[in-house]
Amino acid sequence: MKKDITKIKDITIVLCGQAGQGVQTVETLLTNAFKAAGFNVFSTKEYMSRVRGGMNSTFIRVSDKPVNAYIERVDVLACLDAGATEHMKSRISSKTIVIGDEKSFGEAAKSAKSKLNIPFTDIATKIGNKVYSNTVAAGAIIGIVGIDIEFGEKAVGDIFVGKDDVIKTNITALKEGCDAAKAICGENKFEFKAGNPEALKDQILVRGAQSIGLGAIGGGCNFISSYPMSPSTGVLVFLAQNALGFGIVAEQAEDEISAINMAIGAWYAGARAIVTTSGGGFALMGEGLSLAGMLETPVVIHLAQRPGPATGLPTRTEQGDLELALYSGHGEFPRILLAPGTLEEGFELTAKAFNLADKFQVPVIILTDQYYMDSYYNTEAFDADSLVVEKYITETKVDYMRYELTEDGISPRGVPGFGKGLVCADSDEHTQDGHITEDLDLRIKMMDKRLGKLDLIRKQSVKPNLYGPKNYKNLVICWGSTVNIVREAVMLTANPDTAVLHFTQIYPLHSTVAKLINKAKSSIVVENNATGQFAKLILLETGTKVNHKILKYDGLSFAADKLAKKLSKLIKEGE
């Protein structure tokens, strides 16, 4: 097994309050402060579909060892609102320290280890404005965990750079919260091993949406057209923010139909374009996806999944759109489906998607989800130097034929203005030079040409990653965003005969998949959906049926510690 964490000594913190109370600001402040102090951090969030009100929570994990997965345990719960303990009641345990105004704790806090009365709002009001209550809460957490307040002060300065008065008041609020916590926490204070700032100073703190955006830049992306849709919008925002610096045209289209057609047109003209969307938006792109299939025009689509059907749970997470991505678009044409699990994979696979789309002249769909998009942790800086932008554009001659019948099925792709030839494309079935035809014999040849590319793609498919013993008895199978959770869960089972098989390319599957699964005495698929879509795809593609499925579809991600219990039970039953 690759070297992993065997015993994770960490602290888990949850900030819970209403939308509009600045929970995200506290998240940014604390994660940056802990990293600056030399601690590894992981953060993710769950939130309701509303601008104000409702209950949202942010989860932060802090450790002297690398951490990159969500767990159920809550050590410190900071309540920014009276409804916080009720919202978090299923996760409050005898290990939890609840902090906030004691008048708002309620029945749900009774099972907590202890309750510390730190009235965030009252302290903030005395400073000058109750709006600073979230910063008071951040200071209290710093005081309880026991890191130097100067790291928090620096984080405040970085967040509110250029606003001296705001910085000054926030630092006052931070100190007041820290002093209040230190004055009353006593034996509840964590004795946390000192961090190592030097060890982490060159690491980056980046979220999933940024890793996809950075990968697009690394892949030579120079055009994005999208319509905002949670949770995909972060990629559009990131590329728009960096458009000038990297020569990117960023277009917020009027709808998703326009967005994909703009991207197809951009590729036709020689650009390298991406579209970012979620399930409902991708459904509207079905006709455009089919158009790309017929035109043999490359296109890269980032599909950030969320629970459906219809609007479903628009701010929650799910791996429910695999089959939508696999079968969307009328008619038959090849495509490639990728699904990064780590931030590094998001960067590398997105960059690779542009090369694959360009080379094979097919749609490449990158599947993430809300959990992936909104989670972040510190990691080594991405290796941009290793990326190569591969372009497959041909300079056309006078007798150029866009859809020439070639031995490998890949016709030379020209673009208007590069050469003397006419680049003719038609959404109807067409001749080799791109003109409409109803020659039925030619129709067969063109279909065989397009579909034949799938065999070439399959030969270059990415082999799934195997983590664990080579001579495994139990194999836990996952794809996309669940990998870090599943790997930690398997470690927590402490079963030496269990390995993890993680897929970053989910279609077409690598030729070794059946052999890898059949080698196991017991196979278990872990998926964030209700029907086991990937398990069905494995059966369809390889004829191999997995023994067990662990499925979750309540809109939340798996938790490593909770998943470990389910895995342990299944493994024990199979012995």
| pLDDT exceeds 50 at position 1 | no
8 Å CB contact between 403 and 434: yes
Distance CA 314, CA 324 (A): 17
Distance CA 36, CA 487 (A): 27
Residue after which a domain boundary falls, among 386, 412, 439: 386
Looking at the structure, do residues 252 and 235 belong to the same domain, yes or no?
yes
In a domain, 432, yes or no: no
Per-residue pLDDT tens digits for 150-187: 999 999 999 999 899 999 999 999 999 999 999 987 65
Interior CA angle at 10 toward 15 and 108, to 5°? 40
Domain that holds residue 481: 465-574
Looking at the structure, do residues 222 and 170 belong to the same domain, yes or no?
no
In a domain, 230, yes or no: yes
| pLDDT exceeds 70 at position 8 | no
Question: Domains in the chain: how many in total?
Answer: 3
Looking at the structure, do residues 233 and 356 belong to the same domain, yes or no?
yes
Residue after which a domain boundary falls, among 386, 415, 445: 386
* Kind and range of the H or E run holding 277: strand 273-277
CATH of the domain at 485: 3.40.50.920
Looking at the structure, do residues 370 and 226 belong to the same domain, yes or no?
yes
Candidate from 111-115, 292-296, 373-377 with smallest mean pLDDT? 111-115
Looking at the structure, do residues 295 and 331 belong to the same domain, yes or no?
yes
What is the C-alpha radius of gyration for the chain, rounded to an integer number of angstroms?
A: 26
Looking at the structure, do residues 33 and 86 belong to the same domain, yes or no?
yes
Question: Which tokens belong to 266?
Answer: 């951009």
CATH of the domain at 354: 3.40.50.970
Distance CA 208, CA 203 (A): 15
* Amino acid 197: pLDDT: 85
Mean pLDDT value across the chain: 94
Looking at the structure, do residues 249 and 213 belong to the same domain, yes or no?
yes
CATH of the domain at 158: 3.40.920.10
Residue from 98, 87, 13 nearest 53 by CA: 87
Looking at the structure, do residues 211 and 144 belong to the same domain, yes or no?
no
Residue 378 has a CB neighbour count (10 Å cut-off) of: 20
Per-residue pLDDT tens digits for 309-338: 999 999 999 999 999 999 999 999 999 999
Q: Which amino acid type is present at position 158?
A: D
* Amino acid 212: pLDDT: 98
Per-residue pLDDT tens digits for 386-437: 999 999 999 999 999 999 999 899 999 999 999 999 999 999 999 999 999 9
Q: Which residues contact 413 (CB under 8 A, 6 or more apart)?
A: 296, 298, 361, 392, 393, 394, 402
Residue after which a domain boundary falls, among 386, 411, 442: 386
Looking at the structure, do residues 195 and 243 belong to the same domain, yes or no?
no
In a domain, 147, yes or no: yes
Looking at the structure, do residues 191 and 276 belong to the same domain, yes or no?
no
Distance CA 233, CA 452 (A): 35
